[in-house]
Amino acid sequence: MRWADLARPRGAAFLVALGAALTVGGALVFEHGLGYVPCKLCLTERIPYYLAVPLALASLALPARVARLALGLAALVLLYGAGLGAYHAGAEWGFWPGPTDCGGGTGANPEAVGDFLNQLRTTRVVDCSTAAWRFLGLSLAGWNALIASALAALAGNAALHRDAPPLPNGRGGAPAPPVRR
In this predicted model, what pLDDT tens digit does every residue of 31-53 receive, in sequence order? 888 777 778 888 888 899 999 99
Which pLDDT does position 106 carry in this prediction?
47
* Predicted confidence band of residue 109 (pLDDT cuts 50, 70, 90): low
User: Given a cut of 50, is residue 124 above it in pLDDT?
Assistant: yes
135 SS3 class? strand
For residues 6 and 15, the answer to whether their CB atoms sit within 8 Å is yes
Is 163 within 8 Å of 73 (Cβ atoms)?
Answer: no
pLDDT digits (tens, 9 = 90+) for 60-81: 888 888 888 999 999 999 999 9
Write down the pTM of the prediction.
Answer: 0.69
Angle between helix 140-160 and helix 40-61 axes, rounded to 10 deg: 20
Cβ proximity of 146 and 89 under 8 Å: no
Q: Are the CB atoms for 166 and 173 separated by under 8 Å?
A: yes
State residue 163's pLDDT score.
60
Going from N- to C-terminal start, the domains of the chain cover 3-160
